[in-house]
Amino acid sequence: MTQRILVVGAGIAGLATAVALQRQGHHITIVEERTDTSSGAGISIWPNALAALDAIGLGDAVRESGGRVTAGAMRWRDGSWLRHPSAERIVTALGEPLVVIRRSVLTELLAGALHTGTIETGLAATELVPTGHSVRVTLTDGTTREVAGVIGADGTGSVVARHLNGALRHRYAGYTAWRGVAAYTLDPDLAGETMGSGTEFGHVPLGEGHTYWFGTERSPEGASAPDGELAYLRAKYAAWADPIPALLAATDEDAVLRNDLYDRDEARQWSRGPVVVVGDAAHPMRPHLGQGGCQGLEDAAILARCVASGEDLAAAFTRFAAIRRPRVRSLARESRLIGQLVNLRPAFLSAALMRSSALVPEAMLTRHLAWVASGSAFRLPEPPPGL
C-alpha cells in the first residue's frame, strides 16, 4: 500500500531512505532546513555500505564515482610501519575494496535518484503531533503536513529525536578534526593512517589525482588557528614522513574544513507509532571507524525492507529499531573508545598504546574488520513470521 511519508533531513541517511522507499512506490517528501545541501571533503564507503547501496539500487553508481582503496596501512610519524597488511588480505576480508568518494558527489547521486520536487529546502520540522494513525507535522514556515509516517534524519540536533526522547545530552569530545582534499596522487600502498603522540592523520585516494585526508588533535572547544588552519597544519606536521607534508602542500586553503567533535546520547527510543529516527538522529558516532555515514546507509536499506514486509508503519519502525540497535550501539562505543585512546592525556600514553597495537595479531584484526565493514556484515532482515 502506498504511504505518504515525510523525511526530515536531506543528509546521507535521509536521502538514501527516501530513495529506497520511493522505489517501493511510496509518496516521499524530504524537508531540509539548509538551502545549500552541498558538503565538502570525502567519505569512505566500506563494503557493508556498498552492499546496502546495492539493496537500494545505487551501489554500482557509487563504485564508479570514487577511488578504490585496498590498503589499510598504519605508520608512525617517522614513516616506520605499525601495520602493513597485504591488499589481498584486506580485500579477502572485506569482499571488495572500499570506495572513497566526495560527499558532494554521493549526495548528488542520491538526490538524483529521487523524483523531481521530492526535496523542499529551507524548511524544518518544529512540532510533531500524532493524530490516530497519522502524524501532523508543523514546519518552520507555519504550514502543516498530515502524513502516514515521519522519518527523522535530521542529525545530532534532531527535532524528531527530541520528540521521541526529550532532551538528549550534547557535549564536546575534547578534540577537533580537520578534513581536506589535496591535488595529489597517493601511493595506494600508503592508504591508511599515520599516528603520532595524541594525534592522527589519515590519507586515502579520492579518485584520479586527488587524496582525501583528515587529522585530529585535542584542542579547546571553538578554537581556531590565528594564521589559518592550513598554515597551522603545515607547521604541525612539517617533520612527519611523506606523504603528509606533500599532501598539505598540495591542498588549497579553501578545501580545509575544521569541526569540533561532539558526543550526543544515543536516542533511548528510536520509534514510537509511525515516527522513527535514522542515522545521526538515532545513533551519533565518532569518525574513527569510518562508519557514521555507512551505518546511515545500512539504516536506509533495512528500514525500507521492514516497511516492504507488509506490516503497518508503526510495526515496521519498531522492528527496524530492534534489528539495528545492537549492531550500531557496539560500533558507536568502539568508535568512541578509539577516539579516547588516540587523544589520551598525557600524550605519551596515547603514543605507547598506538605503538603497542602493532602487537595485536593481524588475523584477529582482520576478523574484526570483516565483522565491522565487510559486505557480508550487512544483512537484510527476513520477513516477520506470518507475512
CATH (domain of 124)? 3.50.50.60
How far apart, in whole angstroms, are the C-alpha atoms of residue 283 and residue 246?
36
229-238 contacts at long range (C-beta below 8 A, 24 or more positions apart) = 229/178, 229/253, 229/256, 229/258, 230/180, 230/256, 233/178, 236/199, 237/201
Structural domain includes residue 188 = no
Structural domain includes residue 64 = yes
Q: Is the pLDDT of residue 76 over 70?
A: yes
Structural domain includes residue 112 = yes
Q: How many domains does the chain have?
A: 1
* pLDDT attached to residue 384: 74
Q: Which residue has the cell 591542498?
A: 251
* pLDDT attached to residue 90: 84
Q: Give, to the nearest 10 degrees, the angle between helix 313-342 and helix 347-356.
A: 110
- Name the residue with higher pLDDT: 337 or 231: 231
Q: Is the pLDDT of residue 200 over 70?
A: yes
What's the rounded mean pLDDT across residues 368-379?
Answer: 94
pLDDT cut 90: percent of the chain above it: 76
Name the grid cell of 256.
580545509
| Mean pLDDT score across all residues of the chain | 92
* pLDDT attached to residue 103: 93
Structural domain includes residue 200 = no
Q: How confident is the model at residue 292 (pLDDT cuts 50, 70, 90)?
A: very high
* pLDDT attached to residue 39: 64
Distances (CA, A) of 105 to 5, 43, 100, 141, 180: 25, 10, 11, 30, 15
How far apart, in whole angstroms, are the C-alpha atoms of residue 108 and residue 95?
26
* pLDDT attached to residue 386: 60
How far apart, in whole angstroms, are the C-alpha atoms of residue 75 and residue 67?
21
Q: How confident is the model at residue 358 (pLDDT cuts 50, 70, 90)?
A: low
Q: How confident is the model at residue 362 (pLDDT cuts 50, 70, 90)?
A: confident
Q: Is the pLDDT of residue 382 over 90?
A: no
What's the rounded mean pLDDT across residues 114-124?
Answer: 97
Structural domain includes residue 204 = no
Name the grid cell of 196.
603520532
* Residue of 134, 133, 195, 192 whose CA lies nearest to 350: 195
Name the grid cell of 231.
598554515
Main-chain dihedrals φ then ψ at residue 323, nearest 5 degrees: -70, -40
What pLDDT digit, counting tens, does each position of 17-72 carry? 999 999 999 999 999 998 776 666 899 999 999 999 999 999 999 999 998 888 78
Residue 350 · residue 344 · CB < 8 Å? yes
How far apart, in whole angstroms, are the C-alpha atoms of residue 8 and residue 5?
10
Q: Is the pLDDT of residue 273 over 80?
A: yes
* pLDDT attached to residue 250: 97
Cα 256 to chain centroid, rounded: 19
* pLDDT attached to residue 40: 67
Q: Is the pLDDT of residue 2 over 90?
A: no
Residue 6 · residue 120 · CB < 8 Å? no
How far apart, in whole angstroms, are the C-alpha atoms of residue 283 and residue 338?
17
> What's the whole-model pTM score?
0.94
Q: Is the pLDDT of residue 325 over 90?
A: yes
Structural domain includes residue 248 = no
Q: Which of 17-31, 154-168, 329-343 is least confident?
A: 329-343
Main-chain dihedrals φ then ψ at residue 345, nearest 5 degrees: -120, 140
Range of the domain at 96: 4-171+264-377
What's the rounded mean pLDDT across residues 166-192?
Answer: 93
Q: Is the pLDDT of residue 232 over 60?
A: yes
Helix (H, G, I), strand (E, B) or coil at 256: strand
Cα 78 to chain centroid, rounded: 30
Structural domain includes residue 80 = yes
Structural domain includes residue 124 = yes
What pLDDT digit, counting tens, does each position of 130-156 carry? 998 899 999 999 999 999 999 999 999
Q: Is the pLDDT of residue 281 over 70?
A: yes
- 3-state SS of 96-109? CCEEEEEHHHHHHH
Q: Please give the span between the terminal C-alpha atoms of the chain, in angstroms, as a whole number.
A: 14
